[in-house]
Amino acid sequence: MLTRTKSSQMVLVYDPTRCTGCRYCEIACSFYHFGTLGFEGAHLHVIFDEERNEFEAIYCQHCDEPICMAACPNDAITKDEKTGWVRINSTICIGCKTCSIVCPLSAPWFNEKFHVSMKCDFCGGDPQCAKFCSPQAIRVTTREMAMRLNKRRYLEV
């Protein structure tokens, strides 16, 4: 089995210059997780940033040191050291919403139907948002490459 270093772990990266605002990523995510065609069950959200005049995707970054995990009072959030994915165990989650409050992106969202917080789970290694993004605004890449792209995009403005 392939052992990945932190820098070679696979994550999602978003390029707003490629996004058309079609929101297929949200629909694919919602369909994969809940079998519904819509936006309500999506673990990512596309919004329009009027200041930059472009679309922006809000999704879990599967942080190196996830603050959501540190803040969870019930230890429902774990980080897989091999894959780097941060997951919420819905059987342990008490629905307090602390993870969403402390996350800088508010990526975890509260599912009213199930009374638990949810977030990107990387679709078990085959992220549907990236798979169905025809302009490739959302792509799967290494954590190292994503950090370089995000640094260039957001810190060297």
Contact 111, 118 (CB under 8 A): yes
62 closest CA partner among 133, 153, 150: 150
Q: What ranges in 59-108 are assigned the alpha helix state H?
A: 67-71, 98-102
The CA-CA-CA angle for residues 35, 13, 69, to 5°, reads 75
Residue in this structure with the two tokens 């959501």, named with its chain if needed? 68
pLDDT at residue 157 greater than cutoff 60 = no
Q: Which domains, from first to last, does the chain contain? A: 6-150 (3.30.70.20)
Q: What is the CA radius of gyration of the chain?
A: 15
Residue in this structure with the two tokens 């999704």, named with its chain if needed? 59
The whole model's pTM is what?
0.88
pLDDT of residue 152: 84
pLDDT in tens, 67-106: 999 999 999 999 999 999 999 999 999 999 999 999 999 9
pLDDT in tens, 107-131: 999 999 999 999 999 999 999 999 9
